[in-house]
Structure 1
Amino acid sequence: MARHVYACPLRWADMDAYGHINNVAFLRYLEEARIDFMFRLGSREGSATFDGGSVVARHEIDYLRPLVHRHEPVTIDTWVTDITAASLTLGYEVKDPGTLYARASTVVVPYNLSQQRPRRITAEEKAFLEQYRDEAVAA
């Protein structure tokens, strides 16, 4: 199993009154990791994966520990847990060595922007995704 590893910077504005990273900021962090995985990594590997568009259909997050604001980035592992004809599910772990802050998943639907409707996953996209496929991790 391969996982995509993303070093996500923490921002001052992400912090709540208690010095913790606000729950809403976690969604932005997952978005950054997802974009880095689906677009930057896919393009680097010679694929125009998902350049035509995609939309998020669902998020699920289990917050396990508070993440305190600091200057060092947090690590987000991303992998594929499921692929269907017209959607994929990504798994994530937001962590530091020895500390797991959150587990999450996102259902992504490929989308035809010009026709404004969902589309099927292409063979090229599926081949890319299969390289990062692994089973979901129980929370």
Structure 2
Amino acid sequence: MRHIYRCPLRWADMDAYGHINNVVFLRYLEEARIDFLFRPDKDFQQGSVVARHEIDYKQQLVHRHTPVDIELWVTQIRAASFTISYEVKDPDQVYVRASTVIVPFDFEAQRPRRITAEERAFLEEYTESTEDDEDSSEAVAA
């Protein structure tokens, strides 16, 4: 299953050419991630931090007054981290593909923590493999 966030495009997100600035996509991913993780019914109460981002820009997104969809899903769950993958897209085109490694964090103790059973169960609802995962598992099998 995928989580879908309808991301509004703001006037200030544009660069001088009328395109959405590449740096702004990090904020869009953050908005989608917060919408996914910090919902009233499902919440990473103890907090988390970003360990890594990877962004692949596919096509320029031109500023407009309608939102763009950000689909996100979980591609890997480990003991103390998980990976979220994203597509920033319209029905007929993908503008960005990205991934973020998230580390659950205990802010009181100032250290990473393990994923709880409740968090793992929630993340597993949104887990999908990607083509890259399948390619790497085939390479290992060969």
TM-score normalized with structure 1 length: 0.92
Aligned residues: 132
SS at match of 1:50: coil
Which residue number corresponds to residue 58 of structure 1? 52
After the TM superposition, list the runs of 4 or more consecutive aligned residues in structure 1 that deviate by more than 6 angstroms: none
Q: Distance in 1 between matches of 2:131 and 2:104?
A: 24
User: Which residue, 101, 106, 123 being the options, matches 1:112?
Assistant: 106
Q: What residue ranges of structure 1 are gaps of 5+ in the alignment?
A: none
1:100 aligns with 2:94: yes
1:21 aligns with 2:20: yes
Larger RCO: 1 or 2 (CA < 8 Å, sep 6+): 1
Q: Distance in 2 between matches of 1:136 and 1:53?
A: 26
Which residue number corresponds to residue 130 of structure 2? 136
Q: Distance in 2 between matches of 1:136 and 1:95?
A: 17
Cα deviation, residue 51, structure 1:
1.1
Identity %: 69
TM-score normalized with structure 2 length: 0.90
CA root-mean-square deviation: 0.9
Q: Distance in 2 between matches of 1:51 and 1:98?
A: 36
Q: Distance in 1 between matches of 2:23 and 2:130?
A: 23
SS at match of 2:38: helix
Q: What residue ranges of structure 2 are gaps of 5+ in the alignment?
A: 133-142
Q: Distance in 2 between matches of 1:80 and 1:50?
A: 15
Instruction: Spell out, residue by residue over 1:74-107, the C-alpha distance to the aligned partner (whole angstroms, 9 max, x if none).
Output: 0000100000000000000000010100100000
